[in-house]
Structures are given as structure tokens and as C-alpha cells.
């Protein structure tokens, strides 16, 4: 029996991974990553770097980010504390799902993870204060290849679920270009 349940999404290659949890009176144990077990599901990405972020305020948006080739990154994202809404946007020119997005709630409680392949912009919004995110990357950070798409691009139309909460943004994310202005480095 696999320690993971894999849920397909409408976007090719973007999958939700749910590790099994084994609970008792002490709490739980979960195998959050296993290259061998994931390979049994056809996921063979080799990860080389782990990143961690803490967002103090609810409504913090980080993204939509990507790294261009030759340092494009697959990411495996999970929530270590709090709650976030994690999003992948297809930015691959020629893709039948170009400009479409998928989002899923990741939390410490549900243990879900999102696999975001290269060719997708990635971002999230925190739905609780003190939200901590940990993610694996398939290539090293290369700032010269960084790219971004506007979090509120109407062509993409992400429903971040902010309600009356004003988003907390970095300066870089506040001025990210629209997808229509991006010469995407990804092509099918």
C-alpha cells in the first residue's frame, strides 16, 4: 500500500499529493516525501533544494513566480503551520490549458501537498496568520532567471478568496506584469 494518495487536477502534471497519517494518542506520523513511493505513481522529479517561508499576516500573497530555463523548477509545496490557498497557472505557450489555474487549500491539518511542474507560475495566499510553507525545488535558486505574473491578472482570474482582506504584497509582486505582457520562456 502506498503512503500517498494522488489526485489529478485539470492541469497536466499538476497533482495533489496526500500523505497517509498514522495517528494514535500521541499525535500522528506521516512520511511527507519518498522518492521511491512517488516514483511508483510516475512522479520521478529529483529535488535539490528545500525552501521555507513564514507569512505573519493573513492575506499575504506570494507569487505568481517561476524560474525560466535552464533553471526552471518543479516545486512540491506543503504547509507546516497555518492555512494557505496554493495556486498553479499554466504559462506554457501552445498549451490547451494556457492561462488556466488550479488552486487547493493546504494546511497543517489536511497534510495535502501540491506538485507544480516547470512551465507553471506558482503562488499562494495565507488564510491564517503565522502560516509557514515548505517546498522542495528541482533546481537551485537562480535570480537571473526569475519571472512573475501579476497575482490579480484578469486574464487568469484567480479567486484568492480574500473577501474584505487587503492583500499583503512584496514590492516585486505588486508590479508584476500581466500574462499578456509576458514572453513566456515555456512552450509546448
120-164: per-residue pLDDT in tens? 999 999 999 999 999 999 999 999 999 999 999 999 999 999 999
Active site residues: 65, 135
Backbone angles phi, psi at 54, to 5 degrees: -125, 125
The rounded distance, in Å, linking the Cα atoms of 30 and 4 is 10
Mean pLDDT of 94-118: 98
Interval 59-74 mean pLDDT: 98
Specify the pLDDT at position 76: 98
Cβ–Cβ under 8 Å, residues 6 and 112: no
Averaged pLDDT, 67-78: 98
pTM of the complete model beyond 0.85: yes
Query: Residue 2 pLDDT more than 90?
Result: no
pLDDT on residue 1: 66
Specify the residue for cell string 499538476: 14
Cell of 44: 520521478
Amino acid at each position: 500500500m502506498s503512503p500517498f494518495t494522488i489526485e489529478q487536477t485539470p492541469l497536466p502534471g499538476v497533482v495533489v499529493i496526500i500523505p497517509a497519517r498514522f495517528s494514535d494518542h500521541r499525535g500522528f506520523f506521516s512520511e511527507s516525501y519518498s522518492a521511491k513511493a512517488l516514483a511508483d505513481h510516475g512522479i520521478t522529479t529529483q529535488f535539490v533544494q528545500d525552501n521555507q517561508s513564514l507569512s505573519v499576516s493573513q492575506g499575504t500573497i506570494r507569487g505568481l513566480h517561476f524560474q525560466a530555463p535552464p533553471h526552471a523548477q518543479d516545486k512540491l509545496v506543503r504547509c507546516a503551520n497555518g492555512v494557505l490557498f496554493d495556486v498553479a497557472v499554466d504559462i506554457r505557450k501552445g498549451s490547451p490549458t494556457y492561462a488556466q489555474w488550479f488552486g487547493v487549500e493546504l494546511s497543517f491539518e489536511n497534510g495535502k501537498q501540491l506538485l507544480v511542474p516547470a512551465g507553471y507560475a506558482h503562488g499562494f495566499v495565507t488564510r491564517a496568520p503565522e502560516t509557514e510553507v515548505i517546498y522542495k525545488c528541482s533546481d537551485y535558486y537562480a535570480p537571473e532567471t526569475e519571472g512573475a505574473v501579476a497575482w490579480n491578472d484578469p486574464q487568469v482570474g484567480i479567486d484568492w478568496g480574500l473577501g474584505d482582506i487587503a492583500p499583503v504584497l512584496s514590492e516585486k509582486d505588486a508590479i508584476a506584469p500581466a500574462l499578456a505582457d509576458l514572453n513566456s520562456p515555456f512552450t509546448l
